[in-house]
Structure 1
Amino acid sequence: MVAYEMIQNLKEIYEGQARQERYETSKALLQCKMTEGTPVGAHVIKMMGYVQMLEKLGFPLKNELAIDLILQSLPVCEAKRKGKKVAKSKGSGKTKAKGKNVLKPKGAISKDGKCFHCNKSGHWKRNCPVYLEEVKKAKAVGASVSGTAHEKESS
């Protein structure tokens, strides 16, 4: 045999094995998923081993593709949170209650409550005609409502 024929013969023999190994390695790389509870470092090292093996077999991957494959193999935390309540936002502190947790007033609300402004029954301060008239006058004069209410108490 001439050297050229020997090289061709060896290529035919080992090329099939390399193709099969490349197929198995790429399959393992693409199907590799990290299980929860295992260290991320060990998983990344395992994935990098697959990438390096493909490079040795004549099929190098670009860095961006290798990084994307590794990131896609990591578990997604958001899928785990499905159905849980979203954390409260730091806002005014007021929250709306829904469903069964709605707070109900302990005492009954009646229309014959006493007005805290004029001490007459049948309405509350927010609907008191005397109070509303004083508010109108105070706005027209420019004085504060609390100032007119304070003057009324002292007289």
Structure 2
Amino acid sequence: MTTRLREGASVHEHGVRIIGLVEKLVGLNMVMPHELSTDILLLSLSSSFDGFVVNFNMNKIEATLEELVNMLVNYEATIKKEKTVLLLGSSSGTKKGAQNKGKKRSAPAVKNKPNKKPYKKPAQGPKRQNKSEQVCFHCNKPGHWRRNCTEYLAQKRSGHGDDKKQET
């Protein structure tokens, strides 16, 4: 029960070892449910297999110990691929080799970023003003808008009102 997989060790070898220990216990006439032997294997894994264990338990996957070890080997291969990609992605990007021989090295150029103002969501419609702050575009008197202006409405009714001021 205290056997643990060391970080970086082969999960296949560890799985075969756990299966051997479980078979020894069964050979000693110990009654062990399949779920218990599966849990013993899963609990003996290192922390890098936590994602696999959570997925295995959440999906309630049924598998023999041999099938479980094969799944763990596949998972281990994907972990190693991901780590390799991360290592490749972290390269410095400096040129090495014959191109740089004999050249003096200088500090890397600092790229100036243009000043970007953060995006501000436009206001939803015009801000409401107090009636005292509202100015009519027709008569330039405060307290109302042109659509409510008595002078503008009277001109419009008489037929002399123009919707837009036309000055030439």
TM-score for both structures, normalised by structure 2: 0.29
Greater RCO structure (CA 8 Å; 6+ sep): 2
The structure with the largest helix share of the pair is: 1
TM-score for both structures, normalised by structure 1: 0.31
